[in-house]
């Protein structure tokens, strides 16, 4: 029997219900800016060991909650667990991005790919979710997550990080059927994976479409949006008597907010390029909004951060449906005191918008 | 006495006048994908010698026009000539981006900066413009260009290329007065520089705001848009009896098209993320549009390129005011035969929209 939530601000805001203060969590809140994270990371030896050892993943997930009054925890994991479970051989080299030993390059490679069983090939993630949920003991909700099909496909076809996405984009243009087959398999894998996270205890889920913003308008709709839609259609929207909000986040996706909101998800993540007031005009009452402070400000000082928090809260204005966050992950060089200032500013300054 | 233009499609399209076919030029059309460019580049030794020797800059500017029926030439130069002329010491290391020996880091550094005199410190650029204009002999118009104030400032403060723009963004947040002083000096320098290019023979000018899309909505308006406005307000809009169209191009700027159009410029460059039909709805008859094919397609094949050209022309539809281009520079790995296919497809397939 899972503990009742002591702080449900995050879930309520995602469902556009009234809250006393705007909830906040921070993308990559369990990360290198925390000395205690760096310590566990060093003990683990390599990054994949950290991700694939439930006790360690649980420990780093909980670390930021011990320091800051954050309103949600997010599973510590990597976005590329699914391609790894598909047999591509994920590895990390120090100072470089993720890489795959066996990238996908031909139609035959795509044919061979199966849908990983989360309780088998991704068991370490699901076990981490179970452990974290239990350790949280209802303190705050736990967010499960996955990369979007398009974002996963970029790494799988490019063999790692990319700037120009030339291989995968050549596939979209010249072999669209192969791309659709790959993306269909990925969408179904993500849906099964997120549902398994929900069954293991995740109380909200988020799809990170980190590279959707690199696509042309018709390609975004056909190769990224359509497959996030396919995920939303398959997700558990309620589990164990509770609604499970689903958040979609396309970085650089400000041009497609109306289309993203029309998928039927509960909330949209926003990077800092789109103003919250304009986003609200575009999506109306369809979805909640999560964001959207430029992470660069975290390198300044508490007074400057507080001023920007005030601006962003005012930009959203009165009403329900705002979860505060950065517009992208917090970077490793940040002073944790600035994070404390951010969290406090959001809670203190937002109360006036929830009377 | 300058030769009359034999092909004025590009200028007419920028001014939203009728044309027989949609004009096309390609960002970075004088570049490494051409073997004859690589030969001159090797002769020159280093990149700055190529930029600062008018005969060599002229030669590489003209090379793509000998191969392809392009409708415009663009001055071969670097976007960082102004900061170099300000004394920052631009240099290039093989395989890396541009760097500055003396980046700007304090308010005192900014105080010391003066407005470079184009006929003195940037004489090599102005001489190149004069030479190219004369060598073109009216074949097609010559485009002059500059980086935008914000884009130049990012390199000057970061000391080179950047992903997160942490130093310059810290300045925007914590020392906005310093940033405004730097950007004011840059805007005035760009205006004087582009006017000198016009006086030397440039028949249209373009401002490349490569990094405007990295800013939050209020920061884009205050620190990039406002200074492009300051440039537009100072530019020669007519010279030697001819209108001189001005193009603004903010990469990733699809969210701000209406604001960019309101500056009074003649045309907006578009990257591939924004559809031309939606852009037309947003800007109405205010400006022409230039773009917007994803450069990744250039790695495919003529049939695929032709299909995408057809889609983009149809997306713009009937009417005046479209200049075809890629949404960003052409990359070095491209087969020149694909460029020939692109240019031919644009001219052949566009005639139906201009009857």
pLDDT digits (tens, 9 = 90+) for A126-150: 999 999 999 999 999 999 999 999 9
Average pLDDT over residues A281-308: 97
Are A255 and B273 in contact (CB < 8 Å)? yes
Rounded-to-integer distance, Cα A173 and Cα A102, Å: 23
Say whether A296 and B272 touch across the interface (CB within 8 A). Answer: no
User: In this model, does residue B94 exceed pLDDT 80?
Assistant: no
- Average pLDDT of B168-182? 97
Give the model confidence (pLDDT) of B16-35 as tens digits: 999 999 999 999 999 999 99
Alpha helices in chain A (DSSP H): 9-14, 35-44, 47-52, 54-67, 81-83, 107-112, 123-136, 149-158, 166-174, 176-200, 217-219, 226-234, 257-261, 276-283, 302-316, 336-350
Can you give the pLDDT at residue A14? Answer: 98
Given this model, what pLDDT does residue A1 score?
56
Q: Which chain A residue shows the shortest CA-CA distance from B276?
A: A217
Is pLDDT above 90 for B96?
A: no
Question: Which of A169, A275, A300 is nearest residue B174 as measured by Cβ atoms?
Answer: A300
Residue A207, beta-bridge partner list = A146, A248
Cβ-based neighbours of B48, under 8 Å, separated by 6 or more: B78, B90, B91, B92
On chain A, the residues whose CB falls within 8 A of the CB of B275 are 216-218
How distant is the Cα of A298 from the closest Cα of chain B, in angstroms? 9
Mean pLDDT rounded to a whole number for chain B: 97
| H/E segment holding residue B150 | helix B149-158
Residues A267, A269, A273: CA angle, nearest 5 degrees: 140
Closest by CA to A336, choosing from A309, A298, A310, is A298
Whether residue A292 has a cis bond before it, omega within 30° of 0: yes
- Tokens 């840059």 belong to B186
In chain B, residues 139-198 whose CB comes closer than 8 Å to chain A: 164-166, 169-170, 173-174
Which pLDDT belongs to residue B238?
A: 98
B254/A contact by beta carbon, under 8 A = yes
Q: Does B220 touch chain A (CB under 8 A)?
A: yes
> Does pLDDT of B319 surpass 60?
yes
- Residue B1's pLDDT band (cuts 50, 70, 90): low
Which residue from A minimizes the CA distance to B299? A170
Look-up: residue for tokens 């709709």?
A221
Closest-CA distance, A294 to chain B, in angstroms, reads 7
Are A21 and A347 in contact, with CB atoms under 8 Å apart? yes
Average pLDDT on B261-284 reads: 97
**Beta carbons within 10 angstroms of residue B119's beta carbon:** 13
Q: Could you write out the three-class secondary structure of A130-157?
A: HHHHHHHCCCCCEEEEEECHHHHHHHHH
B297 touches chain A (CB under 8 A): yes
Residue B201's pLDDT is 98
With H, G, I as helix, E, B as strand and everything else as coil, classify residue A160: strand
B38 catalytic per annotation: no
Q: Does the pTM of the predicted model rise above 0.90?
A: yes
Six-digit token string for B329: 């520079």
DSSP annotation string for B294-354: -GGGGGS-HHHHHHHHHHHHHHH-SSS-EEEEESSPPPTT--HHHHHHHHHHHHHHHGGGG
pLDDT of B250: 98
Q: Is the per-residue pLDDT at A2 higher than 80? A: no
Q: What length does chain B have?
A: 355
Report, as an integer, the average pLDDT of B328-343.
97
> Which residues of B are less than 8 Å from A164 in CB distance?
295-296, 331
Alpha carbon distance A203, A199 (integer Å): 9
**Mean pLDDT across the stretch B294-304?**
97
Angle between helices B336-350 and B302-316 (to 10 degrees): 40
DSSP code for A3: P
- B339-354 as b/e: b if 16+ CB within 10 A: bebbbbbbbebbeebb
Residues B264-273: pLDDT tens digits? 999 999 999 9
């Amino acid at each position: 029997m899972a503990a009742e939530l002591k702080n449900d601000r995050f879930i309520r805001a995602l469902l556009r219900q009234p809250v006393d203060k705007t909830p906040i969590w921070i993308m990559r809140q369990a990360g290198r800016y925390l000395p205690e994270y760096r310590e566990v990371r060093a003990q683990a030896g390599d990054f994949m060991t950290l991700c694939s050892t439930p006790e360690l993943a649980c420990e780093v997930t909980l670390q930021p909650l011990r320091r800051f009054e954050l309103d949600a925890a997010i599973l510590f994991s990597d976005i590329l667990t699914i391609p790894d479970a598909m047999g591509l051989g994920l590895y990390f080299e120090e100072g470089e991005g993720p890489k795959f030993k066996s990238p996908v390059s031909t139609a035959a490679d795509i044919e061979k790919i199966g849908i990983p069983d989360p309780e088998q090939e991704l068991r370490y993630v699901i076990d981490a979710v179970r452990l974290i949920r239990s350790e949280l003991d209802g303190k705050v909700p736990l967010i499960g997550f996955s990369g979007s099909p398009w974002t996963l496909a970029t790494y799988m076809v490019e063999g790692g990080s990319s700037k120009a996405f030339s291989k995968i984009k050549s596939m979209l243009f010249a072999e669209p059927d192969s791309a659709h087959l790959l993306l269909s398999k990925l969408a179904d894998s993500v849906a099964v994976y997120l549902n398994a996270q929900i069954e293991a205890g995740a109380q909200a889920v988020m799809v990170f479409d980190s590279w959707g913003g690199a696509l042309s308008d018709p390609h975004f709709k056909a190769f990224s949006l359509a497959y996030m839609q396919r995920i939303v259609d398959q997700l558990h929207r309620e589990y164990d008597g509770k609604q499970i909000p689903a958040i979609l986040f396309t970085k650089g996706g400000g041009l497609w907010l109306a289309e993203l909101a029309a998928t039927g998800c509960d909330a949209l993540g926003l990077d800092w390029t789109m103003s919250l007031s304009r986003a609200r005009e575009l999506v109306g009452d369809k979805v909640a909004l999560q964001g959207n402070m430029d992470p660069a400000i975290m390198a300044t000082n508490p007074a400057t951060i507080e001023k920007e928090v005030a601006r962003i809260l005012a930009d959203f204005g009165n009403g329900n449906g705002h979860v505060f966050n950065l517009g992208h992950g917090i970077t490793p060089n940040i002073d944790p005191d600035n994070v404390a200032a951010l969290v406090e500013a959001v809670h203190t300054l937002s109360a006036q918008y929830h009377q």
